[in-house]
Amino acid sequence: MVNIKTPVIIINSKAYLESTLDNEVRLVKICEEIRNEHGVNIMYAPQMVNLAYIAKNFNIPCLSQHVDAIEPGAKTGYTSLESIKAAGAIGSIINHSEHVITFREAEFIINRAKNLELIICACADNINIAKSLAALNPEMIAVEPPELIGTGIPVSKAKPEIIEKTVEEVYKINKNVLVLCGAGISTGEDVKRAIELGAKGVLLSSSFVKAKNPREKLLDLISKI
Amino acid sequence: MVNIKTPVIIINSKAYLESTLDNEVRLVKICEEIRNEHGVNIMYAPQMVNLAYIAKNFNIPCLSQHVDAIEPGAKTGYTSLESIKAAGAIGSIINHSEHVITFREAEFIINRAKNLELIICACADNINIAKSLAALNPEMIAVEPPELIGTGIPVSKAKPEIIEKTVEEVYKINKNVLVLCGAGISTGEDVKRAIELGAKGVLLSSSFVKAKNPREKLLDLISKI
Amino acid sequence: MVNIKTPVIIINSKAYLESTLDNEVRLVKICEEIRNEHGVNIMYAPQMVNLAYIAKNFNIPCLSQHVDAIEPGAKTGYTSLESIKAAGAIGSIINHSEHVITFREAEFIINRAKNLELIICACADNINIAKSLAALNPEMIAVEPPELIGTGIPVSKAKPEIIEKTVEEVYKINKNVLVLCGAGISTGEDVKRAIELGAKGVLLSSSFVKAKNPREKLLDLISKI
Amino acid sequence: MVNIKTPVIIINSKAYLESTLDNEVRLVKICEEIRNEHGVNIMYAPQMVNLAYIAKNFNIPCLSQHVDAIEPGAKTGYTSLESIKAAGAIGSIINHSEHVITFREAEFIINRAKNLELIICACADNINIAKSLAALNPEMIAVEPPELIGTGIPVSKAKPEIIEKTVEEVYKINKNVLVLCGAGISTGEDVKRAIELGAKGVLLSSSFVKAKNPREKLLDLISKI
């Protein structure tokens, strides 16, 4: 079992114009500094094509935004776990609401990741899917109601029972999984509330990546933990 | 119309274990040196997660191995044309035999790439698909019979008529497309023969990436052009 | 080259609640009667699971709404050309805007269909894709701007140049293809206009399937041809 | 909770040439007769395009081989739960090894099926996936190691621990699920052994569909239960 310092803040830069390479460098520098100064466990998931560049040039744990269920080989344009590890990532997000995968893919990836000592954060649209993923034993499960993603309406306020119930139900199936939450988290208050409800961390994206002042925003986001 | 110096040698590093980051750095250095010393137009398509790292650290035109038919935005784990451009790529391979795409995706990507001044090398399993792609006006079409990929049996020897016929048929539909060929190309003789048959370049992968001595192999491959 | 009597009216019942089995039986009876009485070449594409039932019980040429690029075999839940032929279909729609396919799939299906004497109606979102499909030589190409599908705004009125230009461009690549048009066609006037613009027929769906009075609607639709 | 008489024998006719319409009619007649004469709970999953034809013409419970995670509507070529119900099916197989689906699709289908009183048989490649599916509460889970499918090497002999362990692990998560097994089951002895190991039924395909004498084969298969 991997030891992940909690609460964990995962920043997913998605495929925004605001996170193409030069922009992403600015964003990751902010994360790197705040991580070091404040001792908060911030992980950063850069754009796929930026992964090695970011992971090798900055001192922050990086996740891949996605990884394919493949062995290394003749698979043009696909990305193996071995490749993200060599690129410097410590693991990967999988099954994000914007990039859902099959049971077979998830099972393959989660097992192979363990052999490679990579960590997996599997995303779930709802409690049922969180339970289903828990049975496959990823290190983290992030529950994110897709209808709240990018809205600024925090799941911790709009549907607090989703967090509480997911924590409860996931732990019945698998006690080793850290339950995170995402979707709409955009203030320090939202993060605090999520943690009070039982989440071990949060998954953030637009609130930071598209912020007018990303540094201030991130400082606010971590201010109450 | 983009001006691409021909013959062009495109190296696709796929998702081989032999092209994960540290290995890829060694491979790209060889390509960079030979490109500069011999004046051959070598382009390099690194692993997706290595793209920015390779494109920003080495002096060689880089292609993405694949690109998704998306606008920049909330698309976790997908890669836009804008992102590969920001990462330093000059364009992308699409529809590789190992990563086929839809008509809608190809049309979107090829048009959007033109606006961004990125070049597209579209791959075709056979003459019919080459013609179909030609109607969408990519800069390059690489015909690669999938049954020969990775075999070391060069298409220029096993099925020379595929190259000749593709050149002929593609040019009937679109005079601006450069026709390349791939699959099984592993010697300088194969490359020479492909060019004699009308190809404007070749698409290489395992013969170089998995070579015992990649430098010698690449020197051989370009020796007769 | 298959001889298809033009103009041809293809009715695609999609996956509407209004075309589940009992409803579909009522709809197809109307089509069958009007076809016989008025001598108009109406083809009917029922819901996938209704195909054999409709094709075997009614006297109207049936198309499959989709077909998979597979050889018969161990492919649970997929549908081969051999299976639709045995079920009584005379061919299939492919690459509908709601069900797009790859170049490889289209090439496979169009070629295999010819060997089985099945006809293919390939759909295209726009002129470029119509040209791309024309190179693969299907019997019919239906151009349907997806933004007009289901709107009741006929392509023949909103974007007449799409029909004219598609006819012109497709014929440059392939003289044997019948160009149809779809999207928003909902009156006899729309059908007439489409044919005046060069279309050899139309692809209809919601205007008939969801009509309050489907018989009246279909009589109107064919009234000016 | 739906009451399914066990042991249950599900016959999946896949997309074999041996199960295109006329052949399928012969096969289903055999199943119908043996079901009625022997009182064994045989369910039949015909080819997609044959579903309504078979379900409406024969007196045997039919399953769809697959169903799409869609609401009824403008989804050309896709199949809703509402459509299979109207076609006469009592439910559907999902996530067959040859047709895997995402977590999101499975969750959607299983929940919607309950509202429609349709039963779902979800397939799993292995124990982990069986557990993952169990959390979503389908009526049946069929564990089928894909490497044994179509081999004639029965899972009940080659990997008996898979059946026992799946039964045990699935019941920890969900006591209401019937665990079936498949892959390589081709004799009455195999069926008997599967049931002794805890399976509540079997999923059969090629051993019956491709048998020289399907009637004899089916009689053998049910002979020891």
Both tokens of D115, joined, read: 């509202």
CA distance C100 to chain B (A): 6
Q: In what order do the strands lie in the sheet with B8-12?
A: B41-45, B8-12, B201-204, B178-182, B140-143, B119-124, B91-94, B63-64
Whether residue A77 and residue B98 make contact (CB cut-off 8 A), yes or no, is yes
* Partners of residue D102 in chain A, C-beta under 8 Å: 95, 100-103
* Partners of residue D23 in chain C, C-beta under 8 Å: 86
Q: Do chains C and A touch (3 or more CB pairs under 8 A)?
A: no
Q: Is D88 in a helix, a strand, or coil?
A: coil
Would you say how long chain C is, in residues? 225
Residue B154: the pLDDT is 83
| pLDDT band at residue A2 using 50, 70 and 90 as cut-offs | low
| pLDDT band at residue D1 using 50, 70 and 90 as cut-offs | low
| pLDDT band at residue A156 using 50, 70 and 90 as cut-offs | confident
Instruction: Average the pLDDT over D24-53 and give the result.
Output: 97
Q: Is C104 on the interface with B (CB under 8 A)?
A: yes
The whole model's pTM is what?
A: 0.96
pLDDT over 80 at C5, yes or no: yes
Instruction: Average the pLDDT over B181-194 and give the result.
Output: 90
Whether residue C74 and residue D98 make contact (CB cut-off 8 A), yes or no, is yes
Q: What is the residue type of D161?
A: E
**Residue B50 in contact with residue A52, Cβ under 8 Å?**
yes
How would DSSP label each residue in A101-125? -BHHHHHHHHHHHHHTT-EEEEEES
- Distance, in Å, from the CA atom of A148 to the CA atom of C79, rounded to the nearest integer, reads 37
- Distance, in Å, from the CA atom of A83 to the CA atom of A119, rounded to the nearest integer, reads 14
pLDDT over 90 at A155, yes or no: no
- Distance, in Å, from the CA atom of B173 to the CA atom of B52, rounded to the nearest integer, reads 35
pLDDT over 90 at B2, yes or no: no
Whether residue A128 and residue D135 make contact (CB cut-off 8 A), yes or no, is yes
- Distance, in Å, from the CA atom of B110 to the CA atom of B133, rounded to the nearest integer, reads 10
First to last CA, chain D: 24
Q: Is B100 on the interface with C (CB under 8 A)?
A: yes
| pLDDT band at residue C1 using 50, 70 and 90 as cut-offs | low
- Distance, in Å, from the CA atom of B109 to the CA atom of B111, rounded to the nearest integer, reads 6
**Residue D170 in contact with residue D131, Cβ under 8 Å?**
yes
Catalytic positions of D are 96, 144
| pLDDT band at residue C2 using 50, 70 and 90 as cut-offs | low
**Residue B170 in contact with residue B140, Cβ under 8 Å?**
no
Residues 6+ apart with CB under 8 A from B121: B10, B63, B91, B92, B93, B94, B138, B139, B140, B141, B142, B180, B203
Would you say how long chain B is, in residues? 225
Both tokens of D138, joined, read: 């389908």
Share of chain D above pLDDT 90, in %: 88
> Token match 């005379």: residue?
C90
Residues 6+ apart with CB under 8 A from D31: D11, D42, D44, D60, D218
> Closest Cα to residue C107, out of C137, C130, C128, C81?
C137
Residue B1: the pLDDT is 52
C126-129's contacts with Cβ under 8 Å and 24+ in sequence apart are: C126/B107, C126/C162, C127/C162, C127/C165, C127/C166, C127/C169, C128/B107, C128/B111, C128/B135, C128/B136, C129/B103, C129/B104, C129/B107, C129/B136, C129/C95
| pLDDT band at residue C83 using 50, 70 and 90 as cut-offs | very high
Peptide bond into D7 cis (omega under 30): yes
Q: Is A56 on the interface with B (CB under 8 A)?
A: yes
Would you say how long chain D is, in residues? 225
| pLDDT band at residue C45 using 50, 70 and 90 as cut-offs | very high
Q: Per-residue pLDDT tens for C100-125?
A: 999 999 999 999 999 999 999 999 99
Q: Give the Cα-Cα-Cα angle C212, C216, C218 (nearest 5 degrees).
A: 100
**Residue D141 in contact with residue D179, Cβ under 8 Å?**
yes
> Closest Cα to residue A133, out of A161, A90, A102, A168?
A102
Q: Is D125 on the interface with A (CB under 8 A)?
A: yes
**Residue C214 in contact with residue C25, Cβ under 8 Å?**
no
For chain A, give the mean pLDDT. Answer: 95
Q: Is D35 in a helix, a strand, or coil?
A: helix
| pLDDT band at residue D2 using 50, 70 and 90 as cut-offs | low
Q: Is D56 on the interface with C (CB under 8 A)?
A: yes
Q: Per-residue pLDDT tens for D70-127?
A: 999 999 999 999 999 999 999 999 999 999 999 999 999 999 999 999 999 999 999 9
Mean pLDDT check: name the lowest of A48-62, C57-71, C178-192. Answer: C178-192
DSSP B187: S
CA distance B104 to chain C (A): 7
The values of phi and psi at residue A81, to 5°, are -60, -40
| Gyration radius of chain A's alpha carbons | 16
- Is the interface score ipTM higher than 0.85? yes
* Partners of residue B128 in chain C, C-beta under 8 Å: 107, 111, 135-136
Both tokens of A100, joined, read: 């859902």
Q: Pick B82's closest partner by Cβ from A17, A74, A93.
A: A17
Q: Is B102 on the interface with C (CB under 8 A)?
A: yes
Residue D69: the pLDDT is 98
- Nearest Cα residue in chain D from A101: D102
In CATH terms, D8-221 corresponds, of 3.40.50.300, 3.30.9.10, 3.20.20.70, 1.10.4190.10, to 3.20.20.70
Q: Pick D49's closest partner by Cβ from C22, C51, C74.
A: C51
- Distance, in Å, from the CA atom of C62 to the CA atom of C64, rounded to the nearest integer, reads 7
| Cβ-count burial D144-166 (b if 16+ within 10 Å, e if not) | bbeebbbeebbbbeebbebbbbb
**Residue C171 in contact with residue C200, Cβ under 8 Å?**
no
Provide the pairing of β-strand A119-124 with A91-94: parallel
Q: Per-residue pLDDT tens for C139-194?
A: 999 998 888 777 778 878 888 888 999 999 999 999 999 999 988 888 999 999 99
